[in-house]
Structure 1
Amino acid sequence: MSLKSHEINLDITPITETFGAIISGVKLSNQMSQDELNQIKSYWNRYQILLFRDQDLSKEDIIGFSRELGDLEIHIRNEWLNESHPEILQISNINVDGKPIGALADGEVGWHYDQIYLKRPALGSLLCSVKIPPEGGCTYFADMTTAYERLPLELKATIDGRLGIQSYENFNNLYSTKTDENQTSLTQKITQPLVRTHPVTGRRALYLCPGMTVGITGIPDHESDAILQQLFDWCLQDDFVYKHNWRLGDALLWDNACTMHRREPFDSVHERLMFRTTILPQAERAVPF
């Protein structure tokens, strides 16, 4: 995407009291000035989730804008990548010739962080609606920064400096399909800090999720299970959660360092197709931080 210099004219409307904002006055398909990009990045760091409504984006537009934010991951689940644009992961319940064209079908997809199971997990993701059902399929986000800041001091002390054990296999067993032999070899269990410090804002956030965090290092399983359940229950209070009802033309960008998300199920008679890019952090800003 080429850049040009002109005055910025972006309008911002907060979605909740603590995180999320709607950005108006920009078409992601257009050429964008460096000032506009810098302003969007600043809003992204501040609000964690940015919603761009009424976008008409080609695959090239989606990839071009995403690349302005960082390197793009080619997702390990290569069976669900767009054939002509492998930077795009398709999330869909549509079948062609008896085979799914995308991930996660139409069932419940529980709370998770994207790529928490990798040494270089996603900085963020851009999810764009292509085809949506008339109801259901909403995406929920949890503000893990505010959840940490309001966490009782005793729980903060309990997890200070601790590492969580992350399992992609656990997520697949619950919500997806099993990986093949090569994919499995690349997604073995890994440890990540239970608390991360955002490299730009300096704010700390909980880094754990029910779908993939299966233990805490140095703590017996029965104790770590109880601690994790306390943390999950805390994070999922209504005060920390935003529910996004999708519209056609929505492009939703989230910060994967400080928000986790889930998707509710929808009726399988309706088709749903979403395009997602996964944005990687700079090497020096990958976990741990």
Structure 2
Amino acid sequence: MASVASRYEVAPLRDGLPFGATVSGLTLDMLKDESTRKALYDLWIDKGVLYFRDGDSSDDMHMELSACFGPLEEHLFPSVRSETNPALTKIKFFPEDGSLYDVRGEPRGSWLPWHSDLVYSASINRGGILRPDQIPPRFGKTGYLCQIAAYERLPQSLRDRIEGKHVVYEITIDHGDHTFADTDEVTCLRMAASGEAIQKNKFTYPRVVHPMVYTQEKTGRKVLNVSPGFALGIYEDGSWAGDALLHEVCKYCMDPELAYFHDWQMGDMVLWDNWRVLHCAEGTHPEDTRVMYRTTISGDYAMGRPIGIDGPTADYDI
């Protein structure tokens, strides 16, 4: 279907996929129109993932387009910020530097499990736009999965069991060490220099809790607010039974039938709503180079809380 302004085109991200849209032909000049910016924002809230193609993809476009969806912020960790623009996060793998994993018997650079960005902090960022700078000749896809669609697949009995419960999260940069993210056959072979810097200070960041379910404010839709990556367990039940429940829920957060994997081309940009969309990285062949830039759209859904020695902060009643 055509956009409201009939100057760019909007189509499904993939036939049969319950989320996402492709936006073709968007230019920087079009973003001067406030109605265009609002239409894009509303589309994002509805669809969760927007794939921009066949339009402008300059640094200026990357920044201005990101600003349509909220104010920008610098990444929590200085070691991953771009050297030339701190508002951009530089995601990179080089054969001589970058985290390297054995993923079920195959070497992969910068592999990532299904996760929400910054879920290990109390304030989860609103979203981000990812753009390639150097694309490897093989592998390197990014996966996206809608947590609204995941919640809709939950049987009612499972919905009832998780209602009102919370998950505890903690930062770890060894992505082979995520208990609930199907990493039994994933081993870290080499840590990136930037990752080493973060891991060194991991204990300066407190554990946090986030609700397992919340309601999207603008639409009233329920979101399965669980990130397999960085999860430690259910706050209300740290027993084996609680772990079993979280494992069962996480299967829906990693269901390949609900996932879209983006095969990057130069000029592409992908926006996702970090409050309702998980993402993962397929990883790169260890002999190849991959460089991506990402903006961080700020926000706080105001439901996460740090855990102190006496539990969640006093204003958090669970």
State the match for 2:241 in structure 1.
223
| Letter matched to residue 14 of structure 1 | P
Question: 1:158 pairs with 131, 155, 161, which one?
Answer: 161
| Letter matched to residue 264 of structure 2 | W
State the match for 2:81 in structure 1.
81
Decide whether the 8 Å contact of 2:79 with 2:197 is kept in 1: no
State the match for 1:109 in structure 2.
112
Decide whether the 8 Å contact of 2:92 with 2:291 is kept in 1: yes
Whole-Å Cα distance in 1 between the matches of residues 293 and 173 of structure 2?
24
Whole-Å Cα distance in 2 between the matches of residues 201 and 270 of structure 1?
42
Question: 1:278 pairs with 286, 291, 296, which one?
Answer: 296
Whole-Å Cα distance in 2 between the matches of residues 35 and 183 of structure 1?
44
Q: Which TM-score applies when normalising by structure 2?
A: 0.79
State the match for 1:3 in structure 2.
none
Whole-Å Cα distance in 2 between the matches of residues 64 and 92 of structure 1?
23
| Letter matched to residue 10 of structure 1 | Y
State the match for 1:248 in structure 2.
266
Secondary structure class of the residue paired with 1:169: coil
Secondary structure class of the residue paired with 1:279: coil
1:137–1:88 distance in 2 versus 1, CA, 3 Å: same
State the match for 1:15 in structure 2.
13
Whole-Å Cα distance in 2 between the matches of residues 235 and 182 of structure 1?
29
CA deviation string 1:244-288 (max 9, x = no partner)? 11111110000111110111122122211100011112x5x4336
Decide whether the 8 Å contact of 1:133 with 1:272 is kept in 2: yes
Whole-Å Cα distance in 2 between the matches of residues 29 and 206 of structure 1?
37
| Letter matched to residue 50 of structure 2 | L
State the match for 2:105 in structure 1.
none
Decide whether the 8 Å contact of 1:29 with 1:57 is kept in 2: no
1:123 equivalent in alignment to 2:141: no
1:214–1:179 distance in 2 versus 1, CA, 3 Å: farther
Report the more deviating stretch, 259-268 or 8-17: 8-17
1:186–1:207 distance in 2 versus 1, CA, 3 Å: farther
Decide whether the 8 Å contact of 2:114 with 2:254 is kept in 1: no
1:84–1:125 distance in 2 versus 1, CA, 3 Å: same
Unaligned runs of 5+ in 1: 1-5
State the match for 1:42 in structure 2.
42
State the match for 2:279 in structure 1.
261
Decide whether the 8 Å contact of 2:133 with 2:293 is kept in 1: yes
Decide whether the 8 Å contact of 1:80 with 1:90 is kept in 2: yes
1:63 equivalent in alignment to 2:56: no
Secondary structure class of the residue paired with 1:200: coil
| Letter matched to residue 43 of structure 2 | Y
Matched pairs, number? 278
Whole-Å Cα distance in 1 between the matches of residues 43 and 100 of structure 2?
29
| Letter matched to residue 200 of structure 1 | K
Decide whether the 8 Å contact of 2:145 with 2:254 is kept in 1: yes
Displacement of 1:187 in angstroms is 2.8
Q: Which TM-score applies when normalising by structure 1?
A: 0.87
Decide whether the 8 Å contact of 1:171 with 1:211 is kept in 2: no
Whole-Å Cα distance in 2 between the matches of residues 181 and 89 of structure 1?
18
1:213–1:28 distance in 2 versus 1, CA, 3 Å: farther
Decide whether the 8 Å contact of 1:194 with 1:207 is kept in 2: yes
1:172–1:183 distance in 2 versus 1, CA, 3 Å: farther
State the match for 1:135 in structure 2.
138
Identity, % of aligned positions: 27
1:38–1:56 distance in 2 versus 1, CA, 3 Å: closer
Decide whether the 8 Å contact of 1:171 with 1:212 is kept in 2: no
Secondary structure class of the residue paired with 2:123: coil
State the match for 1:236 in structure 2.
254
